[in-house]
Amino acid sequence: MLSPPFDPSGQRYQQERIAHWDWVARLRDRWQGWGGAYHRRLRQVYRFLVSPGLRVLEIGCGMGDLLAAVQPACGVGVDFSPEMIRRARARHPDLEFLCADAHDLSCLNETFDVIILSDLVNDVWDVQRVLEQVRRLCTPRTRLIINFYNPLWQPILSLAQALKLAAPNLEQNWLTPTDLRNMLNLAGFETIRDWCEVLLPLPLPIVEPLFNRFLVRLPLFRHLALANFLVARLQPLPAPDVRVSVIVPARNEAGNISAIFERLPRIGRHTELIFVEGHSRDDTYAVIEREIAAHPETPARLLRQPGIGKADAVRTGFAAAQGDILMILDADLTVPPEDLPRFYEALRSRKGEFINGVRLVYPMERQAMRWLNLLGNKFFSWAFTFLLGQPIRDTLCGTKALWRNDYERIAANRSYFGEFDPFGDFDLIFGAARLNLKIVDLPIRYRERTYGATNISRWKHGWLLIKMVVFAAQRIKFV
């Protein structure tokens, strides 16, 4: 049970701020100041973070320009300033705007895919109460995105306001990311990731993009940025037992098929095996047919891969799958099928939303991975951790697990990254990062291959991975 929103001091605080933001709304009818570059950059960042066509709520929406920029299917803006709401409705008649206080959102009785708090928490009376109000508007898949001022910028902003270069503010809450992570935890949220944006909030051609897209990403500069960003979700509750589909891409793996049937444990409420055979030179397809017939107790299907590459095989299997959770198991059995229940439990317990197998924690069997491949994997794990803003210890472990509806969202946004990943690992990892899914590494012991040879070409595919790093930098990190 929440306490009443305001004591007398809080009431005076709110009345002063409503009057102040009404005045700022009228002021902006004839004066914009130098804040245009800052707000343009915020719109660019949010357009990357929020896919078009979602249900989006912005609290503290002002005139609604940021909400409109993310192109929601259903967009709702809330602000306590009647003057701001009046202008928002006139500027964006296709969106819904409500005049209400962030401390009392009883006017809303629906949930949203994304909730935005942009430059709000610095100005509210009780941050924790606002977050508690937001919580009831969330589902387990809702993403709460918050940006707020870096306290180091207080003297610069005060000077800009004194020189009438920026809209004036009343006294602010100057919060650090640690402060906000703590308040989110108290309000029932879990932080997924945080980072910094906007090193130079001035409209200077060439210089502004250099500072705000590149330099702000570097360790020496990022702590000097104006805006702290943070993405959070509800603290998770376990899901009930669900159905699982295990996708097995199989090319030249005839000698491993029987062991998959013998060793795969039952996972969840129902487990189905989907083999996708990929133009093998041996009799893999015939062996799979025989093993399916020999194991009627195991629900299994066999598909012929229409295209080439593991990515195509995985997508073919995912399209045919009927489970709530989708898993990938490489047919070479270098990742033991006995480890798959761990991936299931990590998803079902909601500890993560994209579970990524990691081969680089435990010692490997002697011939499991060549030394140069190991070195390359360690380099790419560092590179992708830097690019994605979440720890990724192993980018090319074939075993991954995610919820079906999250995969469908990744597939729907695949055009953003393109189709040039033959492995499928990066397609999934990039997509999960862009959707702000919580990525969790799950260490496994990597085994030697007992049949056949690897389909990975060290130099050809290594060069392709380098190109993917450059591509990811352009599409994810330096946007």
pTM for this entry:
0.87
Q: In whole angstroms, how far apart are CA 194 and each of 31, 46, 223?
A: 33, 14, 12
For domain 8-234, give the CATH number: 3.40.50.150
Instruction: Please state, in angstroms and as integers, the Cα–Cα distance from residue 74 to each residue in 42, 85, 97, 106, 222, following that order.
Output: 20, 17, 11, 19, 34
Give residue 156's pLDDT.
86
Q: What is the pLDDT of residues 414-444, one digit of tens each?
A: 887 776 666 778 889 989 988 999 999 999 8
Per-residue pLDDT for 3 more than 60? no
Q: State both tokens at 382.
A: 């560092």
Looking at residue 446, what is its pLDDT?
Answer: 85
Contacts of 239 (CB under 8 A, 6+ apart): 347, 348, 349, 350
Please indicate whether residue 322 or residue 3 has the higher confidence score (pLDDT).
322
Domain boundaries, the chain: 8-234, 243-477
Q: What is the pLDDT of residue 1?
A: 37
Mean pLDDT of the chain: 89
The reported pLDDT for the residue numbered 133 is 96
The pLDDT value recorded for residue 367 is: 54
- Mean pLDDT across 36-43: 93
pLDDT score of 404: 97
Query: What are the beta bridge partners of residue 228?
Result: 148, 196
In this prediction, residue 371 carries a pLDDT of 59
* Per-residue model confidence as pLDDT tens digits over 280-302: 999 999 999 999 999 999 999 99
Tokens 């500890």 -> residue: 351
* pLDDT, position 364: 65
d(CA 316, CA 308) in angstroms, rounded, equals 11
Q: Reply yes or no on whether the pLDDT at 368 is more than 60.
A: no
- Helices 458-472 and 371-388 pack at an angle, to 10 degrees, of 10
Q: What is the pLDDT of residue 21?
A: 96
Q: Which pLDDT score is estimated for 374?
A: 65
CA dihedral 383, 384, 386, 387 (to 10 degrees): 120
User: How high is the pLDDT of residue 2?
Assistant: 46
Tell me which H or E stretch contains 273. strand 270-277
- Report the C-alpha gap between 238 and 184 in whole angstroms: 20
Note the pLDDT of residue 447: 82
Tens of pLDDT, residue by residue over 194-229, are 999 999 998 888 899 999 999 999 888 988 999 999
Beta-ladder partners of 302? 275
In this predicted structure, what is the pLDDT of residue 422? 67
Predicted local confidence at residue 60, as pLDDT:
97
If residue 146 lies in a helix (H) or strand (E), which one and from where to where?
strand 143-149
- Do you know the residue count of the chain? 479
Phi then psi dihedrals of residue 327, to 5 deg: -125, 155
CATH class of 243-477: alpha beta
318, containing H or E segment: helix 310-320
Give per-residue pLDDT as tens, 337-353: 999 999 999 999 999 99
Range of lowest pLDDT (22-36, 52-66, 299-313, 398-412): 22-36
Confidence of residue 393 (pLDDT cuts 50, 70, 90): confident
Which tens digit of pLDDT belongs to each residue from 320-338? Answer: 999 999 999 999 999 999 9
In the chain, the percentage of residues whose pLDDT exceeds 90 is 66
Residue 34 pLDDT class (50, 70, 90 cuts):
confident
